[in-house]
Every structure is written in C-alpha cells, then in structure tokens.
A and B are shown apart, each in its own frame.
Chain A
Amino acid sequence: MSAVTQAGIGRDLAGVAGLRIVPKRFYGRWVAAALILLALAWVVKAFAQGQIAWPVVAQFFTAPAILGGLVNTVIMTVCAMALGIVLGVVFAIMYMSPNPVLRGSALFYIWFFRGTPLLLQLLLWFNLALVFPTIGIPGVMEWRTIDIIGPFMATLLGLGMNQGAYTAEVVRSGILSVDVGQTEAAKSIGMTRLTTLRRIVLPQAMRVIIPPVGNEVISMVKLTSIASVIQYSEILRNAQTVYYANARVIELLIVSAGWYLIVVTLLQIGQYFLERFFSKGRGERRAKPQIAEETGA
C-alpha cells in the first residue's frame, strides 16, 4: 500500500519539476497602496494650494533668530540629558543600596519628580527666589537666587531633575538585566564593587539602557519647547516672537517643525551606531577589536 503511494508521488514529482511558477498575487495590498498614494497626493495638493507663503518658510529657515533658538534647544537638550543621566545612574545605584537612608532618598526623589507635572517643576524652579531669596552656605558664600536661577538654570534643573527620575528606573532595569554570575566572576578575580560596576555590569547594562534613553533624548529635544513659558529662548519661543511681529504663524511653525525633525533624525542615526557598539558579544556587532600582541623582544 505505502509502496504504491510513494510510487504515485514520485511520478507526480517528475511531471511537476519543470513547470513555471506564478507568484501569488496580493490584490488587497495593491488596493491599499493605491489608496495611500491618493491620500498623499491630496495632502500635497492641499499644502501647495493652501495659504502658506513658502518663500517665507525658506527665508526664515536660516534666520538668525531661528538658528539662535536652535542652538539653545540643542544646548539645553545636551545639558539636561547629561544631568538626567548622571542623576539617573547615581539614584539607580542609591536605590539598590542596602543602606535605608540612601534607598529612601532615591525613592523619594523618583516619587516626587515623576509624580508632578514637568511644567509645574519648571515654574517652581523659576520662582525659587520667592521662597529662598538667597542661596549658598550661610556666612561663607551667598548669592541672590534671582541672579543664579534665570531661565537657563531653571530649565536645566527642571528638565534634568525630571529626566533623572525616569532615567534612574531605566538604569536600574539595565543593571538588573545583567546576570548575577557576571558580578560573582568579577568579584572572584578580585574586583571591588565599584570596579565591577564600571567594567563589567554597566557596559552590559548599556545594551538594555540605550534604546529607552535614546527614546528619551528624542522626547527631550521636544520637551525643551515648554521652557518657552519661562522665557528660555529656544527655537519655538523665538519662532513665536517672530510671528507675533510678522503674523506668519503657520510658516514659522513649519520652520520649527522642520528643524525639530532634522535634529531628531540625526539623533536616531546616532542611536543606531551606539546600539551597535554596545551589542558586542551579542551576535550582531561590528568588527572585532584586536588586542595588539606586543610580546616585547
């Protein structure tokens, strides 16, 4: 019986082998693609015919006020993110400390800065002078708060400390993702806790930390725009200042949107390379580092 069936299959195979193959057709996909192209054409047409003065967009795209705002946006993103990452690492390590005071203060920090709106925090920092007219060490050195906490400082502290609270959780999850055996192996070759963290745990935690932090850098670029309410002259605030004067509202908003997209695109490219770097020893990666074999004589 089975011999007969096998013979039948064999006969079919011989007949089928030389035939032409016609690929399956996906009619649904063709329809969907056509609909999307149609919608796209409609949007393009609407913008082309709409009340937008494109020459104005082009003119203001590289205007000094806009470029100055762009520089301030980038500076604030870099500074606030740097502060956020440093605070995030410090508070993540404090959170994981056996010392209840360290752990408690980390918990409080994360609870407070994640639990209140960012805009409120910015306003608090900006109005700090109302509570503390002077800051410093009493009797040693003191400054007037109003001289120190201007729009830049208030924005930096607001964005950076808020970011730190989120980054602390990201860093903590990254550290927890590294197998405890890695720590034990590091200890067994005589590493101290801090060296273990720096050389063994954090480099491996980076693989888990980078994608969410990259995500947060991108949202930071855009979050800086809320600093316009406390007079930090970033790109959106400068665009507003310009359109209050010339009434070209949409044109200047398009200019701002264009610059945000450019910055975010560059950051995404950077993130791709960073992720590749930290995925060492995880399958996909760049060329292997070579250790020079300097054997002396």
Chain B
Amino acid sequence: MINASDKDIVVAANVTKQFGSLKALNDVSLAIPFGAVQCIIGPSGSGKSTLLRCINQLEKIDGGAIWVDGELIGYRRVGDELHELSDAEIARQRLTTGMVFQRFNLFNHMTVLQNIIEGPLTVMKRPRREIVAEGMALLERVGLAEKRDSYPIELSGGQQQRIAIARALAMKPKLMLFDEPTSALDPELVGEVLAVMRDLAASGMTMIVVTHELGFAREVASDVVFMDKGEIVERGAPDAVLVAPQHARTRDFIAAVLK
C-alpha cells in the first residue's frame, strides 16, 4: 500500500491491467497531490498511457483500486463487496477529469465553438447564452477566437490540440489528463501547444502529463515518474529524475530521447 492523504487528487493502489498476456500495468501505486503537475515519461509500451486511461476509466483495471478526488472509481462499496457502477455513474465520475488525446479527437461534424460547448450543453444542460460566452473566453485563452466557426479539418494539428484543451476545460475539471499531447504534431507546432499547457500549469491546474517532451517536463513538472514495462521505475523532482537518474533504465531512456 502507499501513503495517501486528503491532499491527493489521484491515488492509485496496486493497479494491474492486462491486455491478453501482456501486463500493461504491474502493481502500480502512485499518489498525486492537488495542484501538482505530474509528468510521466517512459518508452512506448511502458504503460504510461494505459495508467492515464485507467484514471479516466477508458480502460477497466484488472486489480487494485483508483481514487479520484477522494472517490473510488468504477465501483461502489457495499459492505465487503464492490458493486460495478452504471454507465451514468461512470459518466458522472468522469466530470472530475478532463482529457486531451494524442490525436486530438475533436468532433469532426461540429464547428470549433460547437465542440467546446457540446459538453456544457448536453451533459451539464446549462443555458446556451452562458456557455457561449464562456466558450469564447476559453477560445481567447488558447488564442483561437477567430476560428470559432471553423471545422476541425480546416485547422492545423496545433490549433486542433489547443481547441481540444479548451473543450476539456469547458467542463471545469479539477484534473487535466494529457496523453502525449504533442506526439502527433509537426515539430514546428509543438511549441504553441506547450505554451497553452504551461499557461494552464501556471494558473494552478492539477495536471498529469504523459509526454516525451523532456524540456517541458523539466521546466513545468512538479514531479516526474519514469515508467518501464508496466512498472514505476523511478520518481522524484524533475532535476533528480531527468538530470541525475538513479536507475540504469532511466539513464538509457533519457540518453536515447536526447540523442
């Protein structure tokens, strides 16, 4: 077990996840405090994206338990049994978290502004007038107010990802999950997305960022986790993990990325 307190927004305890014979997560325990910018790095297939997807219940865990914002996710405890939650209850639990995907996943049949207000409109059922104003404010914040009536296909990858961030923020989450947000971008577009994320971190948002951008991690992260083969190998302050790693596997990975 791990030490967890009320100050933690995410507590993962002995989490395992299996895809067929592959152990994607092997007894992973991790507590992340409110206000943290937690970066997770590691080679592909190390389980870092899987961990993020488990926190948002896009994957179902096979063992262990995860609490988000003090609430056990996916199950309700009844005596000494765990009852699976209904679709609607899981949807409600997901309101705590916002998620940004590697491939943006903007709704292709909706304009930029429609994408942003879709959640507040259909999930929170808030009045359109309020949420359009809020949506425009979010678009200003990511610097794309003039694109409000464009369709995703008309935007660059960097612009799409900034819209995706605004869409997640429109639900006013307590925690933002970023699943390799810059990996699908052309190199010259990475900066604009990182700038928005940097701004978000500075505003005090709690963030979990799976990334290969070691520079960003070093600059913005409050804490860095290195994962390999479904396990947490090393954890610590950015300078400790990224500059003077304790484990050979971490050293090899960082050397390979920087090469």
Q: Point out residues on A near B: beta carbons under 8 Å.
A: 179, 181-182, 184-193, 195, 199-200, 203-204, 278, 280-283, 285, 288-296
Contact = CB atoms under 8 A, between A and B. Distances in A.
Contact of A296 (B91, B92, B97, B129): B129
Contacts of A203: 109
Nearest to A185: B105
B148 interface: yes
Contact of B153 (A185, A189, A282, A289): A282
B103 interface: yes
B87 A193 contact: yes
Interface size classification for chain B:
35 or more
Which 6 residue pairs spanning A and B have beta carbons closest together? A189-B119, A185-B105, A181-B105, A188-B99, A281-B151, A294-B129
Contacts of A195: 122-123
A190 B124 CA distance: 9
B9 interface: no
Contacts of B149: 288-291
B151 A280 contact: yes
Nearest to B108: A281
Contacts of A185: 99, 101, 105-107, 164, 167
Nearest to A293: B132
A296 B137 CA distance: 14
B171 A190 contact: yes
B119 to A, nearest CB: 4
B98 to A, nearest CB: 7
A291 B98 CA distance: 24
A187 B152 contact: no
B202 interface: no
B108 to A, nearest CB: 5
Contacts of A200: 107
Given A181-B101, A282-B153, A189 B132 contact: no
B89 to A, nearest CB: 10
Interface string B161-182: 0001001101100000000000
B146 to A, nearest CB: 13
B87 A291 contact: no
A187 B153 contact: no
Nearest to A203: B109
Nearest to B99: A188
A208 to B, nearest CB: 12
B243 interface: no
Given A184-B58, A288-B149, A294-B128, 6 more contacts: A179-B105, A182-B105, A189-B94, A199-B118, A294-B133, A296-B129
B206 interface: no
Residue from A181, A182, A190 whose CB has the most chain B CB atoms within 10 Å = A190
A291 B119 contact: no
5 contacts: A182-B108, A185-B99, A189-B119, A280-B110, A285-B151
A187 B94 contact: yes
A181 B106 CA distance: 9
B219 to A, nearest CB: 26
Given A182-B107, A190-B92, A190-B171, A281 B153 contact: yes
B256 interface: no
A289 B108 contact: no
A248 B63 CA distance: 79
Interface in B107-156: 107-111, 113-114, 117-119, 122-124, 128-130, 132-133, 136, 148-149, 151-153
A291 B123 contact: no
Contacts of A293: 132-133, 136
Nearest to B97: A188
B211 interface: no
Given A282-B108, A291-B132, A188 B103 contact: no
A288 B111 contact: yes
B214 interface: no
Residue from B91, B99, B129 whose CB has the most chain A CB atoms within 10 Å = B91
B133 A188 contact: no
A185 B119 CA distance: 10
B159 to A, nearest CB: 14
A242 to B, nearest CB: 49
Contacts of B124: 190
Nearest to A186: B107
A193 B58 CA distance: 12
B91 A190 contact: yes
A190 B95 contact: yes
Contacts of A294: 128-129, 132-133
A290 B106 CA distance: 18
A75 to B, nearest CB: 32
Contacts of A204: 107-109
B38 interface: no
Contacts of B109: 203-204, 278, 280-281
